[in-house]
Amino acid sequence: MNKVLMLLQSEFPPDIRLEKEIKSFSNGGFDVTLLCNQYNKEKNSEYPGVTLFRIPAVSGNIKINKLLNFPLFANPRFLWYAIKAIKKFKPDFLHVHDLPMAPLGWFLNKLFGIPTILDLHEVYPEALKSFNKKGLINFIFKNYRLARILEKWIVHKFDKLVVVVEESKSRLVKMGVPAEKVHVVSNTVDLDTFDISENFREIDLEGNPVLIYSGLVGPDKGLDTPVRGMKYLREYYPEAKLYILGEGPDKPRIEKIIADENISGTQFLPWQGHEIIPSYLNASDICIMVWPSNSFTDTTIPHKLFEYMSQGKKVIVSDAKPLKRIIDETGAGEVFKSNNPQSFADTIKLLYESDKNYGQNGIKAVQNKYNWRVDSEELLNLYNELKERSKK
């Protein structure tokens, strides 16, 4: 029993979590096929360790393809291609990624009797609520109230569930899911690939201190807080600089805040790719993870926290529950009060002037616990449990 069929609602690549899971399955002796979307007719790339089976784009318009291929309650196109993939690949397991794919996964489980795992990258209803997207299309396809109703029913229908933090597991257990069915496979860093030595570049960033945020610039990321916090921080350190390394839909709003409030000391840099990011982190003094505490962020964890820690950097995080728990446990940084620019600035000052071994604490925690080798083992153990159950 070593064939896994993954179901994914979006395009692939990229997806850092899937990339790590595929690598783990491949190294563990599993054959993996991934059923995923194709929004752009020209995109037909391959990826090592997995056979890609795409829902083909039918239009030259990406927005139309996203609408037609959205897996709302087992979209007929997804269902058709999923059945084709099962008949061709004959999988031993179905690995379903996130709540929108759950109805399709459940139906295929009933149809074919294949052991099925639901991999919840995040608490999807709370993510939708946090994103708060407007308009009729979003009301129909991304309604967090309907997603909550679906979640309460569907999470009980799978053989195993995978979540990214203990807080998310506790939430499912409170919903009546047996604890032994829920496995925590976190968004930790793959130390074999996120390595500064292989692609090191000497990068010089002006500022004293130098702060870095890397990743998507989205409305849920809380970047308005550190940007506004720069007004207070530059009262302590006139040469302080914040570099936002990435792109995203919230960038125009953040730039407007900077212009309207005449805030200095913040600069956007284009995304460089994960191969180069360690070099940028190396050029910083403090790395920031600032999304505010809410029902979404209190039940998930970003990859970037562990990437920061792996490079031995002082880290500042908001008081979102998983972030605070991990920083309190590891001593890799300090915690500031969500949505509070003054608290952000004061905590940066504390970090910058402290002689505590924040960086070494972070490295030690990542090497011993918060790394993908540990989580990969948990993922493979889950499958071995299902194998043993199937033999009985």
Could you please state the CATH topology (level 3) that the domain comprising 210-368 is classified under: Rossmann fold (3.40.50)
Could you please state the CATH topology (level 3) that the domain comprising 3-187+371-391 is classified under: Rossmann fold (3.40.50)
- Average pLDDT value over all residues in the chain: 90
The three-state (H, E, C) secondary structure of the chain, written as one string: CCEEEEECCCCCCCCHHHHHHHHHHHHCCCEEEEEEECCCCCCCCCECCEEEEEECCCCCCHHHHHHHCCCCCCCHHHHHHHHHHHHHHCCCEEEEECHHHHHHHHHHHHHHCCCEEEECCCCHHHHHHHHCCCCHHHHHHCCHHHHHHHHHHHHHHCCEEEECCHHHHHHHHHCCCCHHHEEECCCCECCCCCCCCCCCCCCCCCCCCEEEEECCCCCCCCCHHHHHHHHHHHHHCCCCEEEEECCCCCHHHHHHHHHHCCCCCEEEECCCCCCCHHHHHHCCCEEEECCCCCCCHHHCCCHHHHHHHHCCCEEEECCCHHHHHHHHHHCCEEECCCCCHHHHHHHHHHHHHCCCCHHHHHHHHHHHCCEHHHHHHHHHHHHHHHHHHHHC
Average pLDDT over residues 284-296: 94
User: Cβ(94)–Cβ(115) under 8 Å?
Assistant: yes
pLDDT above 90 (res 42) = no
Do 3-187+371-391 and 210-368 come out as alike in CATH topology? yes
Q: What is the pLDDT of residue 134?
A: 61
Query: Could you tell me the residue ranges of all domains in the chain?
Result: 3-187+371-391, 210-368
Q: Is the sign of the CA dihedral 368, 375, 187, 343 positive or negative?
A: negative
Q: How far apart are CA 38 and CA 103, in angstroms?
A: 20
Query: What pLDDT digit, counting tens, does each position of 319-361 carry?
Result: 999 999 999 999 999 999 999 999 999 999 999 999 999 999 9
In percent, how much of the chain has pLDDT > 90? Answer: 69
Q: What is the pLDDT of residue 264?
A: 94
Task: Name the more confident of 95 and 58.
Answer: 95
Q: What tokens does 165 get?
A: 């933090």
Across 66-90, b (16+ Cβ under 10 Å) vs e yields bebbbbbebbebbbebbeebbeebe
Query: What pLDDT digit, counting tens, does each position of 232-263 carry?
Result: 999 999 999 999 999 999 999 999 999 999 99
Q: What is the pLDDT of residue 390?
A: 73
Average pLDDT over residues 279-306: 93
Task: Name the more confident of 276 and 236.
Answer: 236
pLDDT above 70 (res 101) = yes
